[in-house]
């Protein structure tokens, strides 16, 4: 990964702000310099739904304290952000959300005071329930990159592949019905009426196997029939059964196939002293993996994407 580190360091020296309009072209220009192994390591991870990429450079002394929240993170850890952007671009199209972290492509995931028991990445004292990232939106990521800058307490990220779950025919049939909506999580702000929200399927078959769209914390299960709730509960039990935990260390990246695996986090005690767990996150779309045609009619609750790489030729 020496070449990757060198390119990232050069880009960090040229572009101190990740929203610099020249950065998109610069990232794409430097892609051809990356060794072929980079394209291999960012391929979708298959039926396991996730893979850890190790050996990324992190200089803890230059990072400074873990920020108190994503706003305070600003442009900290720029060199590591460049590494993630290069990897994300090698995999596909990095994008962000206008309604989340001010549209930044690289998000900071740190514990925040007052959010300890929320079902968002800013929580700490509660289990972050397994979920599909941005399950509410038809243009959610295909791949999710979680890169670790700091994790002294070895806080675990959980991952579970739906392709390892055991479900019978009737359960799969029920879960394939568009019976329940999935609402945006509170990191997007605003209130949404579950009664007015369209239902979406939880599981369906794809060309490579089962795919899921799952976020129980933001799914009004009380609207489901008893049989549907029972099938959903069985899915939850199975995802718990096949779940694995990754305690990322500095310089490790967890790449998750967001169509195959759900992810969450174990609870931990945040200290708010500048040493807490600190991850960076990037959403990636794969052009060769289109969404189901039925999702085209969804409005995504009005949430808009930030897509600087969409029409830029790599």
Q: Is the pLDDT of residue 197 over 90?
A: no
Backbone angles phi, psi at 158, to 5 degrees: -95, 145
Q: Which pLDDT value is given to residue 247? A: 97
Q: Is residue 137 part of a domain?
A: yes
Residue 180, classed as helix, strand or coil, is strand
**Per-residue pLDDT at 211:** 97
Picking from 75-79, 85-89, 126-130, which range would have the lowest pLDDT averaged per residue?
75-79
Q: How far apart are the C-alpha atoms of 264 and 243, rounded to whole Å?
A: 10
The most confident of 8-12, 54-58, 240-244, by mean pLDDT? 240-244
Per-residue confidence (pLDDT) for residue 79, from 0 to 100: 92
- The pLDDT-based confidence of 95 (bands split at 50, 70, 90) is very high
Report pLDDT digits (tens) over 244-296.
Answer: 999 999 999 999 999 999 999 999 999 999 999 999 999 999 989 988 889 98
Q: What distance in Å separates the CA atoms of residue 84 and residue 70, rounded to the nearest whole number?
A: 17
Residues 231 and 277: their CA atoms lie apart, in Å, by: 35
pLDDT in the model for residue 272 = 97
pLDDT, tens digit, 9 for 90 and up, residues 20-46: 989 999 999 999 999 989 999 999 999
255 domain residue, yes or no: yes
CATH of the domain at 63: 3.60.130.10
**Distance, CA of 263 to CA of 160 (rounded, Å):** 7
Distance of alpha carbon 138 from alpha carbon 209, whole angstroms: 19
Does position 198 have pLDDT exceeding 90, yes or no?
Answer: no
pLDDT at 55 exceeding the cut of 80: yes
Residue-level pLDDT at 74 = 75
Tell me the pTM.
Answer: 0.95
Number of domains forming the structure of the chain: 1
Asked whether 185 and 301 are in contact (CB, 8 A), the reply is no
Position 219 in a domain: no
Q: Which pLDDT score, from 0 to 100, does residue 314 have?
A: 54
Q: Are 244 and 160 in contact (CB under 8 A)?
A: yes
Q: Encoding tokens for residue 200? A: 């979406």
Domain that holds residue 153: 2-159+246-306
The confidence band for 234, taking pLDDT boundaries of 50, 70 and 90, is very high
118 is a domain residue: yes
d(CA 85, CA 145): 10
Q: Is 260 part of any domain?
A: yes
Q: Under a CB-based contact definition with an 8 Å cutoff, are residues 149 and 63 in contact?
A: yes
Q: Is the pLDDT of residue 119 over 60?
A: yes
Q: What is the pLDDT of residue 72?
A: 87
Q: Is residue 77 assigned to a domain? A: yes
Strand, coil or helix: what is 287? coil
Task: Tell me if 143 is assigned to some domain.
Answer: yes
Token pair for 73: 């993170």
Which distant-in-sequence residues (6+ apart) come within 8 Å of 30 by Cβ?
7, 10, 11, 86
78-91 and 23-31 are packed helices; what angle lies between their axes, rounded to 10 degrees?
Answer: 60
What does pLDDT average to over the chain? 93
Q: What's the confidence (pLDDT) of residue 2? A: 76
Q: What pLDDT was estimated at residue 313?
A: 59
Cα distances (angstroms) measured from residue 268 to each of 158, 159, 212, 263: 13, 17, 28, 16
- Predicted confidence at residue 190, as pLDDT, reads 66
Asked whether residue 154 is assigned to any structural domain, the reply reads yes
């Amino acid at each position: 990964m020496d070449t990757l580190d060198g390119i990232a360091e050069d880009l960090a020296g040229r572009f101190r702000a990740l929203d610099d309009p020249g950065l998109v072209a610069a990232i794409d220009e430097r892609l051809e310099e990356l060794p072929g192994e980079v394209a291999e390591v960012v391929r979708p991870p298959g039926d396991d739904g996730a893979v850890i990429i190790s050996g990324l450079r992190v200089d803890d002394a230059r990072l400074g304290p873990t920020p108190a929240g994503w706003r305070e993170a600003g442009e900290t850890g720029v060199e590591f952000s460049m590494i993630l952007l290069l990897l994300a671009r090698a995999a596909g199209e990095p994008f962000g959300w206008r309604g989340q972290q001010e549209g930044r492509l690289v998000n900071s995931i740190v514990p925040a005071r007052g959010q300890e028991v929320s079902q968002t990445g800013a929580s700490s004292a509660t289990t972050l329930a397994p979920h599909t990232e941005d399950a509410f939106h038809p243009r959610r990521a295909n791949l999710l990159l979680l890169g670790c800058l700091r994790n002294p307490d070895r806080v675990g990220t959980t991952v579970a592949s739906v392709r390892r779950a055991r479900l019978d025919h009737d359960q799969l049939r029920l879960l394939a019905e568009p019976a329940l909506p999935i609402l945006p999580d509170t990191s997007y702000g605003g209130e949404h009426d579950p009664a007015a929200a369209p239902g979406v399927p939880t599981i369906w078959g794809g060309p490579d196997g089962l795919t899921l769209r799952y976020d129980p914390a933001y799914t009004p299960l009380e609207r489901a029939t008893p049989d549907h709730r029972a099938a959903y509960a069985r899915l939850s039990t199975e995802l718990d059964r096949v779940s694995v935990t990754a305690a990322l260390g500095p310089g490790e990246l967890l790449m998750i196939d967001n169509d195959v695996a759900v992810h969450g986090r174990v609870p931990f005690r945040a200290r708010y002293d500048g040493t807490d767990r600190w991850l960076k996150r990037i959403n990636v779309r794969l052009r060769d993996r289109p969404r189901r045609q039925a999702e085209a009619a969804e409005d995504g609750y009005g949430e808009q994407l930030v897509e600087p790489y969409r029409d830029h030729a790599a």
